[in-house]
Amino acid sequence: MQVQVARIGKPHGIRGEVTVQVLTDAPDERFVRGTEFVVEPAKAGPLTIKSARWNKDILLLGFEEVATRNQAEELRGAKLFIETEELDEDDDEGWYEHELLGLDARVGSQTVGKVAALNTMPVQDLLVIEDAAGREILVPFVEEIVPEVNLEEGYVLLTPPAGLFELNADDAEGAGSSNGD
């Protein structure tokens, strides 16, 4: 199985470097010279790291297969993956999106939806829960709100603050309405 570790952003400079949105907790280990990535879409890869450097808080990657800004522009939006065999499967500090997708989301013993996605954000990650009505509810993926992830039994336990689900439902219902102005 493959795990996404980055998404390519815009080109940087004229020598084919690109900015990347980092989706891993260990960028200094994942983005080293010689690392080869599986790329989606497949026509863009595979890609092998030639250089990796930080420019303030932005990671810039150069690839052996990319020499010009025009080639780098064609990579915009591409996703970089590694094979899970390279990962430490005994890591108890986190979960990968593929492990969470489809798990029941429970509040107490009541199932309130299913995990539809994991949005990795700079400050904290968000679980995207899809309820029975098809609405997406964004839940901060922090221990206080998601105290238990049980992969064996197929659920995540939520202890949401009062109003979290109602706030999301109001946003979803109000998004399609118009007041005629």
Above pLDDT 90, what percent of the chain? 22
The CATH number assigned to the domain with range 2-86 reads 2.40.30.60
Specify whether the CB–CB gap between 128 and 116 falls below 8 A: yes
pLDDT digits (tens, 9 = 90+) for 157-170: 998 888 777 765 55
State which fold the 98-175 domain adopts. SH3 type barrels. (2.30.30)
Q: What is the mean pLDDT of residues 115-141?
A: 83
- Short-list 76, 101, 19, 4, CA closest to 53: 19
* pLDDT for 43: 82
Ordered by start, the domain boundaries in the chain are 2-86, 98-175
Strand partners, 51: 62
* pLDDT for 5: 85
pLDDT digits (tens, 9 = 90+) for 59-118: 999 999 999 999 999 998 888 988 765 445 444 556 777 788 899 999 888 888 999 888
Q: What is the mean pLDDT of residues 116-141?
A: 83
- Residue 51: pLDDT over 90: yes
Four-residue CA torsion sign, 20, 23, 25, 31: negative
Distance CA 181, CA 177 (A): 11
Contacts of residue 135, Cβ cutoff 8 Å, sequence gap at least 6: 168, 169, 172
